[in-house]
Amino acid sequence: MKQFEGKSLEEVYLLATTEFECSITELYIEVIQQPSKGFLGFGRKTAMIAVSYEKEKTQVLKKEETYKKSNIKIEDVSKKLEKIEKKSSPVIKPTKKQHVKLEKKEEIFDNFYSKDKAPELSNLIVKKDKNDVIEDVKQKVNHLFADTCYEINEINVDFYDDETLYIEFSGKDSALLIGKEGYRYKALSYILFNWINEKYNLMLRLEVAEFLKNQEESIYNYLGPVIVTINEVGTFKTKPLDGILVHIALKRLREEFPDKYVAVKTNIKGDKYVLVNEYRSKQQ
């Protein structure tokens, strides 16, 4: 097994998939250490995982998984998704070996909420009827979380728009799925997005205990005066934004300024922000 270390689980998952050149669903991942911001810089911890490639394993541990209410392991969700897909889908062997170029992390999570650029997919993808897609995804995602001890309602699945599937988790314990302040939200989004985008060629909008709704309301309030400033001076750089906020801000500003250059940037401290300038309009 190989070990990877980074600032967040998303970063080490990306390092692992790059190293093995495969989907995250093909990896066996053991979380050694959860990341922690600490307090005033003290006690800060990085994310650490141990990873092995599924196809290289010679033995399978026949051990019943025990789910604890205080923590849900994302790697267990990933493995279970793969098993469900293998049981319900026929094996199709492509005639030629296909190489998929791994996108940067900013581009992957940008795709969750933007239809501007979808990743290139295999020719094996076939568009299905919307009702068939909804029923198929609903059945599998509910089966995926049926064995946990979390008290959640039946997971809602519907179309948000023609290119985006909407999945909603609700119920008494639904917030526990993503943890305090939603630090597991992006990891859960990453896993579900990989599956849905590869199988159905659709984008994903994930709602867990109204987390996304609250985050959108917060960032929209912040962007109100920002949009006014951009209209006046033409350029702007947002404050550093955490987690999903940077991608919500990116989508909102691209909608508001389609003729400007709007992109996620990272400063020397590793903080992400959205930059808006006149680059595109000057090039036209």
Question: Would you say 81 and 195 are in contact if contact means Cβ atoms under 8 Å apart?
Answer: yes
Options 3.30.300.20, 3.40.640.10, 3.10.20.600, 3.40.50.1370; CATH for 72-209 is: 3.30.300.20
Closest CA to 185 of 246, 233, 125: 246
User: Mind listing the pLDDT tens digit for each residue in 118-146?
Assistant: 444 444 444 568 899 999 999 998 988 88
User: Mind listing the pLDDT tens digit for each residue in 41-51?
Assistant: 566 788 888 88
The CA–CA distances, whole Å, from 85 to 24, 48, 168 equal 14, 28, 21
Q: Is 217 exposed, middle or buried (0-12, 13-18, 19+ CB in 10 A)?
A: exposed
User: pTM of the full predicted structure?
Assistant: 0.49
pLDDT band at 26 (very low <50, low <70, confident <90, very high): confident
CATH of span 211-283: 3.30.1370.180
The stretch 74-92 carries a mean pLDDT of 62
How many other β-carbons are positioned within 10 Å of the β-carbon of residue 112? 21
How many CA atoms does the CB half-sphere of 281 hold within 13 Å?
Answer: 10
Beta bridge partner(s), residue 52 = 28
Dig out the tokens for 257 from the structure.
């300024």
Domain ranges of the chain: 1-54, 72-209, 211-283
Helix or strand holding residue 2 (H, E)? strand 2-6
How many other β-carbons are positioned within 10 Å of the β-carbon of residue 211? 20
Instruction: Please determine, for residue 58, whether its predicted confidence score (pLDDT) is greater than 50.
Output: no
Residue 69 has a pLDDT of 46
Chain centroid to CA 259 = 27
DSSP-H helix ranges across 129-178: 130-144
Residue 159 has a pLDDT of 92
Of 156 and 100, which is predicted with more confidence? 156
Query: What is the average pLDDT score of the chain?
Result: 76
| Rounded Cα–Cα distance for residues 153 and 21 (Å) | 36
Please list, in sequence order, all residues whose beta carbon lies within 8 angstroms of the beta carbon of residue 242, skipping any fewer than 6 positions away. Answer: none
Count of residues for the chain?
A: 284
DSSP 101: P
